[in-house]
Amino acid sequence: MKSIFTLFLLISSVFAHPHTFIEVYPSIEVEKSKFSTIHFKWVLDEMTSTILIMELDSNANGKIDKKENDYIEKEYFSMFKPYSYYTYVKIDKKVVPFKPENFKATIENHRLCYSFDIYGNYGIKNTIFEFGDSDFYVAMVLKDEFVTIKGSSAKVSGVDNDFYYGYKLEFK
């Protein structure tokens, strides 16, 4: 019975599978064992970027202007809120809610990029950042070479979330 239930959970929860790939570039600064800067930059895959840029760069000048930026934040980026922006701040294994600040969309080498900051007086001890989409529509990709850290060091590893795959960033 459990296997049938698992099969159905699999089918219903991951009816979709990654169609969009987002590279995550974290830039993090640590001072006195606390985070002073938490900045994330997402770089969307070229195919998705091209399609979105056609719509979002409404004046087709090859860059995202202030008005376009506001529109993307309101109409597109905010859509990720129910999915916790595919980013989970975990302190002592508990998810801590956050609000992304300073959202900025840019176009770099035909790729659409979203950048944002997280403000939180978290200590690095027992804090983990996890990335992933539980609906499995988007695949978040994190590699060692994407990470920039000042004042500390961190380790990138995979996370088994049962029905989707994610990555985590742990501090030493």
Partner 1 sequence: MEFYAKFLQTLIQWQYQLNSFISTNIRSLNDENSLSTSFLILGIAFTYGLVHAIGPGHGKALVALYFTSNKSDYKKAFKMGYMIAIIHALSALIFTFGIFLILKTMFRKNFNEFSEMAMQISAVMIIGVGIYLIYEAFSGRKHKEKHLKKSSKSEVAVAFSAGIVPCPGVMTIVLFCVVLGQYTLGILSAIAMSIGMGLTISVAGILSIAFGRKTNGLLNKKAYILEMIGGFLVLSLGIILFIA
Q: Which region, judged by CB under 8 A, interacts with partner 1, from 39-47, 80-88, 91-99, 100-108?
A: 39-47
If one asks whether residue 95 binds partner 1 (CB under 8 A), the answer comes out as no
Asked if 61 is part of the footprint of partner 1 (rule: CB under 8 A), the reply reads no
Q: Which residue stretch of 32-40, 43-51, 86-94, 118-126 sits at the interface with partner 1 (rule: CB under 8 A)? A: 43-51
Contact in structure between 28 and 5 (CB atoms under 8 Å): no
> SS3 of 72, please?
helix
Strand ordering across the sheet containing 165-171: 94-96, 87-91, 127-131, 165-171, 154-160
> Rule CB under 8 A: which of 111-150 touch partner 1?
136-137, 139, 141
List Cα–Cα distances, 42 to 11, 24, 172, in angstroms.
Answer: 28, 5, 24
Q: How far is 102 from 61, CA to CA, in rounded Å?
A: 22
Instruction: For residue 70, count other CB atoms closer than 10 A to its CB.
Output: 13
- Which of 114, 116, 164, 171 contacts partner 1 by CB under 8 A? 164
Among 1, 2, 3, 4, binds partner 1 (CB under 8 A): 4
Please report, as ranges, the residues that interact with partner 1 according to CB under 8 A.
Answer: 4, 7-8, 10-21, 45-48, 50-52, 54-55, 110, 136-137, 139, 141, 158, 160-162, 164-165
